[in-house]
Amino acid sequence: MTEGRTEGGQDARAGRRGLILILSSPSGAGKTTLTRAIATDGGWGLDLSISVTTRARRPSEIDGRHYRFIDREAFEDLRARDDLLEWAEVHGNFYGTPRRPVEKTLAQGRDMIFDIDYQGTRQVRQRLQEDVVTVFILPPSFSELRQRLERRAEDSPETIERRLANARNEMQRWSEYDYVIVNDDLDESFRSLQAILTAERLKRSRRTGLPAFVDGLLAEAGRPG
């Protein structure tokens, strides 16, 4: 039911600040699958941030939908113009989040979802503080992580090895995150992500319209029946 998930009920009565939901994980744990699942289910009202990257496009990827694929010079230009909210070098390539779409979406009181690494997460947290909710995705085992990268069949064996070698460093960042999901069963992980978003949207500190709403209730309660 679309209305109950986003603007209906609680939000329509009380108003709310927009939030940014960030998912990070070692390569292959499933953050992109979960991010896209919740972003493309329109009922959750989440805008997906499309990053820029200097990485080569994978066969299944579409420029402008999965990433904006750019060269190193164009990336440096964006950085120099302060057009990136955050950026990082990951697995030997550069990635960044364009700043303007984020500012526009938050100004409209809407929520966004990011699929970025732990270095970028730190930068966004520093800039946007309480408006950020972070989720770390862990694989059920290291052997399953390897199998997922191999089954995905989008990267060369060398790239897979490089990503697995980086996984140890990345997994150690789990304790910097607000929530952790062990992505074993995908449906269960998706339900956990939905629960996190629902609870975070209900947080008192985000609900800027509550004081006026409660004042109205109190005024009504004080009037003779």
Ligand X SMILES: Nc1ncnc2c1ncn2[C@@H]1O[C@H](COP(=O)(O)OP(=O)(O)OP(=O)(O)O)[C@@H](O)[C@H]1O
Ligand Y SMILES: Nc1nc2c(ncn2[C@@H]2O[C@H](COP(=O)(O)O)[C@@H](O)[C@H]2O)c(=O)[nH]1
Q: Which residues bind ligand Y (CB under 6 A)?
A: 24, 27, 51, 55, 86, 88, 90-91, 95-97, 115-117, 119-120
Region of 8-16, 25-33, 69-77, 197-205 interacting with ligand X (CB under 6 A): 25-33
Q: In terms of CB distance, is 69 or 213 closer to ligand X?
A: 69
Residue 70, contacted partner among ligand Y, ligand X, none, CB below 5-8 A by kind: none
How far is the C-alpha of 225 from the C-alpha of 219, rounded, in Å?
Answer: 12
How far is Cα of residue 20 from the mean position of the Cα atoms in its chain? 7
53, 92 Cβ separation under 8 angstroms? no
- Residue 203 assigned as binding residue: no
With binding defined as CB under 6 A, does residue 29 bind ligand X? yes
Residue 47, contacted partner among ligand Y, ligand X, none, CB below 5-8 A by kind: none
Give the residue from 1, 8, 14 showing the smallest Cα distance to 213: 14
Q: Which of 148, 162, 164, 166 binds ligand X (CB under 6 A)?
A: 148
- Residues 33-52 touching ligand X, rule: CB under 6 A, are 33
Residue 88, contacted partner among ligand Y, ligand X, none, CB below 5-8 A by kind: ligand Y
Compute the least distance from the CB of residue 50 to ligand X, in Å: 14
In the chain, what are the helix, strand and coil shares in percent, each to the nearest 5? Answer: 50, 20, 30
Q: In terms of CB distance, is 105 or 119 closer to ligand Y?
A: 119
Residues 6+ apart with CB under 8 A from 79: 87, 96
The 181-220 contact track toward ligand X, x by CB under 6 A, reads: --x--x--x-------------------------------
Residue 151, contacted partner among ligand Y, ligand X, none, CB below 5-8 A by kind: ligand X
Cα Rg of the chain (Å, integer)? 20
Alpha helices in 41-171 (DSSP H): 72-80, 99-107, 118-128, 142-152, 157-171
- Residue 25 assigned as binding residue: yes
- Residues 85-144 touching ligand X, rule: CB under 6 A, are none
Strand pairing report for 46-48 and 52-53: unpaired
Residues 6+ apart with CB under 8 A from 17: 109, 131, 206, 207, 208
How far is the C-alpha of 124 from the C-alpha of 118, rounded, in Å?
Answer: 10
Binding residues for ATP: 25-32
Binding residues: 25-32
Instruction: Summarize as ranges the residues that interact with ligand X (CB under 6 A).
Output: 25, 27-33, 148, 151-152, 183, 186, 189
